[in-house]
Structure 1
């Protein structure tokens, strides 16, 4: 039987990013499409029936009854942030495949169907909306809006999805898929220091921090870098730089808040050109959704003051927002009981990261398992999971699935 590490080793060359380090596996790019083919082959080799739904979600079915309604579902995603680590997403997919091997090795006879699912564009790194596949499934995104999303190269989501063989005319809430999810358990690499500090290989997710993404467009006057005197400039880059610092200050004043500008794009982007516009993307998070809204209001208000002083204008656009999620309490207790023998006293752990399990919680009971990351670093090539911990996570997932089956 394969280990989790051996499964991951088979895709270790897919999507390597020579300039950033790590992996860049944007949804429906060559790298991510290769991983989708890899998953389909791995699932088929295990006798699972693979299909793609109307929103580009991959499903690999272990059919145990004459219906798939109310099935037990596990899985994660295969796309990555630019220059991301090897484990964010693929660990959950590889662990699910190994968990199927473990269940069969134990002679488990399911009393309901089991599916391993792969959700597209979880990171939102290509089209700007995180957990896009699960949001479409649950009906929380307007399909027309999704079809019109554009990546950095000007490709629409509709064109990218169409090139991947998806009929984009049928994007949107999928009642059939929603009925099939009886319970959802997602395994994921832990993306902070929680399990290091707890000295545990595995934890059960308790809550997921509310968060959102906003695009702030700062418009000024494009001009020549050599002929325009400093006093004559309306430079949006200067205003944008001050907004970045203001966002950090405002978040630091609020306990438990996070505010990040991880992407900034000057237009037109020439070295000897004063930009005409600078777009920057804000990621803001807090466990209290009202405070998240207040933080954005403060940052936007400060941005408008800064821009007015610099002779510029600021426009804020919300791209996505998720409320704080409390994972299903009964399912958490089931997970704790299922891990009682192999992982007694497995701790519970909140997460500041977003996951498809949080989105799917609006239609079904959901839960998460986290596997220790000894670096405490994620969304970076330094993200890591020890081989023994990866196998421990797959065993924990198999224990949980067996109990729920």
Structure 2
């Protein structure tokens, strides 16, 4: 399975993946998922929001146990973030069939669409729509860098965008969702453990900073006469690092758009996207407020106008303690429990159904990069742990 999926959406130049929502690479990933479901005799379906499902047992019976993750990627992302959870879900089912497990609850494997938000700027679109955390009206406003709207992209890919929206009937049939994911950090590597359990997801959000200045000639305009938004943006990036360091939080400007984007032109507009995360919402608010304050102060000095728009926000998510404790019990009670600063579909769904997460060791700690890695032995340990969990939940 891993060998079949590995080439899909891989960029020859960077070695990373560009599996963006509703593109050809995404279609290839979806075809792979459908083929895996068919090879195992599972009932395959795509829901109204474009999420894929493969069912063992009656999908309408209720109290189902669901596992899976996502197959899309960030720009030039790694091979493991998302796909490891989907591949492992099929491998865990194979393991349970090898054991002769007798299922007493329906089991579903899933691939949630557009988890990374790389194309339309909003993470977890598929699960947000399903859980009612993203309205169809707001979803219709999403556009990619070329101005293509989400419904246009979905329609071009053969999916009816008129049907998107909350899916409470589907969620009501799910008794538990368990997502396996490569760890995005080195906690397991430092502790020497192969597998961990998630405790909570830090609150996090994305903010767009628009710095409006004045376009002018780079070779003739005196420094004193410039209204250069790039200068203000650069100072804001430095301020973000300072505010995050002082608060023990995280803040990153990882995406930028410049107009007119000429080598010999002073920009008229610099647009930068801030990603910030912290252990609690109060700290996060303090960090973002400090960054905004610094941006405004530098903008006034530089003769630049600044507008800040919060594009997304996810509050702190505590995974349900009962399900988390049940996973620990099934796995022998000696599994490390870890917090994480990364968002996931399991976090979005936690407000609607009981959810939990398993982490697989990442020896480098690198994620969202071609250097992202997990050893084969650790991946196998993750599959076996997931199989044990599914057996404990769905076969009793």
For 1:322 and 1:114, locate their aligned partners in 2 and report how far apart those are by CA, in whole Å: 28
For 2:63 and 2:229, locate their aligned partners in 1 and report how far apart those are by CA, in whole Å: 52
String of CA shifts for 1:365-399, please: whole Å, max 9, x gaps: 11000001111111111111111111110110010
String of CA shifts for 1:304-352, please: whole Å, max 9, x gaps: 1111111111111111111111111111111111111xxx612111111
TM-score (norm 2): 0.97
The Cα of 1:66 is off from its aligned counterpart by: 7.2
Q: Report matched runs for 1:261-340 at 5 Å.
A: 261-340=253-332
SS of alignment partner, residue 247 of structure 2: coil
The match for 2:132 is 139
For 2:244 and 2:4, locate their aligned partners in 1 and report how far apart those are by CA, in whole Å: 41
Match of 1:397 among 386, 389, 392: 386
Match of 2:25 among 14, 31, 39: 31
The match for 1:159 is 152
The match for 1:3 is none
* 2:45 equivalent to 1:51: yes
For 1:243 and 1:68, locate their aligned partners in 2 and report how far apart those are by CA, in whole Å: 53
Deviates more, 1:142-151 or 1:389-398: 142-151
* 2:340 equivalent to 1:348: no
For 1:68 and 1:224, locate their aligned partners in 2 and report how far apart those are by CA, in whole Å: 68
Q: Report matched runs for 1:50-69 at 5 Å.
A: 50-63=44-57, 65=58, 67-69=60-62
For 2:7 and 2:116, locate their aligned partners in 1 and report how far apart those are by CA, in whole Å: 20
Q: Report matched runs for 1:193-272 at 5 Å.
A: 193-255=186-248, 257-272=249-264
For 2:59 and 2:376, locate their aligned partners in 1 and report how far apart those are by CA, in whole Å: 37
The match for 1:8 is 2
**Deviating 4+ runs (over 2 angstroms):** 18-21, 65-70
The match for 2:371 is 382
The match for 1:123 is 116
Deviates more, 1:187-196 or 1:105-114: 105-114
Deviates more, 1:114-123 or 1:89-98: 114-123
The match for 1:88 is 81
For 2:236 and 2:101, locate their aligned partners in 1 and report how far apart those are by CA, in whole Å: 56
- Check the 8 A contact 1:20/1:82 in 2, yes or no: no
String of CA shifts for 1:168-194, please: whole Å, max 9, x gaps: 122111112221221000000001001
The match for 1:170 is 163
String of CA shifts for 1:152-211, please: whole Å, max 9, x gaps: 122111111112222212211111222122100000000100110110110111111110
The match for 2:181 is 188
String of CA shifts for 1:85-121, please: whole Å, max 9, x gaps: 1000000000000111111111112111111111111
The match for 1:4 is none
The Cα of 1:27 is off from its aligned counterpart by: 1.0
For 1:267 and 1:314, locate their aligned partners in 2 and report how far apart those are by CA, in whole Å: 15
SS of alignment partner, residue 237 of structure 2: helix
The match for 2:12 is 18
- Check the 8 A contact 1:209/1:325 in 2, yes or no: yes
For 2:171 and 2:5, locate their aligned partners in 1 and report how far apart those are by CA, in whole Å: 30
The Cα of 1:19 is off from its aligned counterpart by: 3.3
For 2:191 and 2:126, locate their aligned partners in 1 and report how far apart those are by CA, in whole Å: 33
The Cα of 1:49 is off from its aligned counterpart by: 0.9
The Cα of 1:20 is off from its aligned counterpart by: 3.0
The Cα of 1:150 is off from its aligned counterpart by: 1.1
SS of alignment partner, residue 266 of structure 1: strand
TM-score (norm 1): 0.95
Q: Structure 2: which 5+ runs fail to align?
A: none
Number of residues of Structure 1 aligned to a counterpart in Structure 2: 394
RMSD: 1.2
The Cα of 1:231 is off from its aligned counterpart by: 1.5
SS of alignment partner, residue 363 of structure 1: coil
